[in-house]
């Protein structure tokens, strides 16, 4: 070779240090590749189990793509946002986004079947301590999205244009998995035939009060669970209707704890009690015969000692109002000047106060989980129809569940 060629040539000498560095990089790359492949297989297996009932391969494919988008897309989980975060698959980003929107809004798949599989998949990995109910306010612009109404915003203290949803969660006290949702519909959505047709609201769906949705959610979960039912814990006192809710859950055979307002009218059930209804707050005043100190109360995994006020009560009225059932009021005793305690009504009259207060933690944990669901697209629904809303909530629930439990190995189900 000539001098020019010789001067242009560079020799790379491989030293032991280079070999070690290259070996480490190769090992890291191989490990990363294995983890990615394993994660991809796990998500594919999860999607296959939840959406196996879908009759068409393209439906199952878009279910997987949508879950992958909800899990990986940064920021807003719009169709475009998810499509931009997904690997190119021979089509344009715009085409992928359109296909995702069509799968959510137009594809005629049943969400109930997905929830049943999601419940069984979850119960093989965790043991629920309670079935808790969470509420979510989904702000919307305009008045065309299904269910939009003016609702009070507890955080802002004002009325907002929003959809209102109720969700049922499997709760361990520190982990909450959403497994079903109901959209509350104001009368105007159910009485206006043009609105119903435009939003594709099924003929069987009517306006129902929150308590009726909660009873329905509990009944649906009882029919789908593969393990012994857990107590239903409801902390939605602003929705009222304690009597019908307690009676409805009792008729279905559910154990429950319901947070109630201090103004709730109750009848003391002990001998010699007055026949005149009294506000619940009167019966849980510290210092009475029902006050006791309870040790070992577990809340979010932390044991503590508290003072508890408790006593047997009935609800006024008959039949559907729940007057024929025996209940117990329970509240944590607090000193003067402290914020009034949450008052609970329960039919678990033979459980100890420590056990009952241990069920309060899951309810607070559920409220925190509802806020976290925003990271998985809860507020990012791009559609206006009733089926589209349910499809979106189902996919968000599945994505969150996989995020929290995807790495857990299944265990055999306990028989119901």
Residue 10 confidence (pLDDT): 34
Answer yes or no: is 316 within a domain.
yes
- Rounded Cα gap, residues 343 and 231, in angstroms: 17
Report the 10 Å Cβ neighbour count for 224: 18
**Residue spans of alpha helices (H) in 315-357:** 353-357
User: What are the C-alpha distances in Å from 359 to residues 171, 259, 261, 302?
Assistant: 10, 11, 18, 13
Answer yes or no: is 330 within a domain.
yes
Answer for the pair 131, 229: CB distance below 8 angstroms, yes or no.
Answer: yes
Answer yes or no: is 210 within a domain.
no
Answer yes or no: is 413 within a domain.
no
Could you tell me which residues are beta bridge partners of residue 151? 160
Answer yes or no: is 137 within a domain.
no
Answer yes or no: is 112 within a domain.
no
Give the total number of structural domains in the chain. Answer: 1
Token pair for residue 43? 């998500």
Closest by CA to 83, choosing from 96, 99, 72, 102, is: 96
Answer yes or no: is 268 within a domain.
yes
Closest by CA to 286, choosing from 313, 311, 259, 305, is: 311
Phi, psi of 214, deg, nearest 5: -65, -45
Could you tell me which residues are beta bridge partners of residue 328? 312, 346
Token pair for residue 105? 């809004």
Report the 10 Å Cβ neighbour count for 285: 12
Closest by CA to 377, choosing from 65, 97, 62, 70, is: 70
- Rounded Cα gap, residues 308 and 334, in angstroms: 9
Report the 10 Å Cβ neighbour count for 234: 29
The radius of gyration computed from the CA coordinates of the chain, to the nearest angstrom, equals: 27
Residue 340: alpha-carbon gap to chain centroid:
27
Residue 107 confidence (pLDDT): 93
Answer for the pair 176, 170: CB distance below 8 angstroms, yes or no.
Answer: yes
Residue 16 confidence (pLDDT): 43
Closest by CA to 202, choosing from 336, 75, 112, is: 112
- Rounded Cα gap, residues 31 and 37, in angstroms: 10
Residue 293 confidence (pLDDT): 53
Answer for the pair 248, 240: CB distance below 8 angstroms, yes or no.
Answer: no
Residue 337 confidence (pLDDT): 58
Answer for the pair 92, 152: CB distance below 8 angstroms, yes or no.
Answer: no
Residue with tokens 């024929």: 324
Residue 236 confidence (pLDDT): 83
The one-digit pLDDT tens for each residue of the chain (416 residues) are 444 444 443 333 434 443 444 445 444 434 443 444 457 789 999 999 999 999 999 999 999 999 999 999 999 999 998 998 887 666 788 999 999 999 999 999 999 999 999 999 999 999 999 999 999 999 998 888 999 999 988 777 789 999 999 999 999 988 999 999 999 999 999 999 999 999 999 999 999 999 999 999 999 999 999 999 999 999 986 666 899 999 999 999 999 999 998 889 998 886 655 678 888 888 887 765 555 555 555 554 556 677 788 888 999 874 434 445 689 999 887 656 567 778 999 999 998 888 888 888 777 788 889 999 999 999 999 899 999 999 999 999 999 999 999 877 777 655 44
Q: Are strands 278-279 and 256-260 parallel, antiparallel or unpaired?
A: unpaired
Domain that holds residue 257: 242-358
Answer yes or no: is 340 within a domain.
yes
Query: Model-level pTM?
Result: 0.84
Residue 196 confidence (pLDDT): 93
């Amino acid at each position: 070779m000539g001098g020019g060629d010789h001067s242009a040539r560079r020799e790379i000498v491989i030293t032991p240090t280079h070999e070690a560095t290259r070996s480490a990089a190769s090992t890291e790359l191989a490990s990363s590749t294995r983890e990615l492949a394993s994660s991809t297989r796990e998500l594919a297996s999860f999607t296959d189990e939840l959406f196996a009932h879908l009759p068409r391969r393209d439906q199952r494919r878009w279910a997987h793509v949508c879950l992958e988008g909800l899990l990986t897309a940064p920021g807003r989980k719009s169709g475009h946002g998810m499509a931009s975060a997904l690997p190119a698959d021979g089509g344009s980003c715009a085409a992928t986004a359109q296909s995702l929107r069509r799968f959510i809004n137009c594809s005629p798949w049943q969400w109930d079947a997905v929830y049943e599989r999601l419940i069984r998949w979850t119960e093989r990995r965790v043991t629920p301590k309670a079935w808790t109910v969470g509420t979510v306010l989904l702000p919307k612009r305009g008045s065309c999205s299904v269910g939009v109404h003016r609702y009070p915003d507890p955080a802002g203290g004002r009325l907002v244009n929003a959809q209102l949803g109720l969700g049922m969660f499997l709760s361990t006290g520190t982990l909450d998995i959403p497994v079903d949702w109901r959209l509350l519909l104001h009368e105007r959505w159910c009485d206006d035939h043009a609105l119903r047709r435009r939003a594709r609201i099924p003929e069987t769906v009517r306006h129902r009060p929150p308590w009726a949705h909660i009873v329905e959610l509990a009944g649906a979960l009882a029919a789908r669970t593969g393990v012994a039912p857990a107590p239903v814990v409801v902390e939605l006192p602003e929705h009222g209707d304690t009597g019908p809710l307690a009676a409805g859950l009792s008729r279905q055979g559910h154990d429950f704890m319901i947070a109630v307002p201090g103004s709730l009218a109750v009848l003391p059930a002990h001998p010699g009690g007055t026949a005149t209804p009294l506000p619940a707050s009167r019966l849980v005043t510290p210092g009475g015969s029902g006050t006791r100190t309870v040790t070992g109360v577990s809340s979010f995994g932390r044991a503590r000692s508290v003072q508890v006020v408790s006593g047997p009560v009935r609800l006024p009225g008959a039949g559907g109002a729940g007057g024929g059932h025996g209940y117990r009021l329970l509240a944590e005793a607090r000193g003067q000047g402290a914020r009034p305690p949450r008052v609970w009504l329960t039919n678990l009259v033979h459980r100890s106060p420590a056990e009952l207060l241990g069920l309060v933690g899951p309810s607070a944990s559920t409220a925190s989980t509802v806020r976290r669901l925003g990271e998985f697209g809860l507020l990012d629904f791009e559609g206006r129809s009733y089926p589209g809303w349910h499809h979106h909530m189902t996919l968000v629930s599945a994505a969150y569940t996989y995020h929290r439990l995807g790495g857990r190995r299944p265990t055999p189900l306990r028989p119901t």
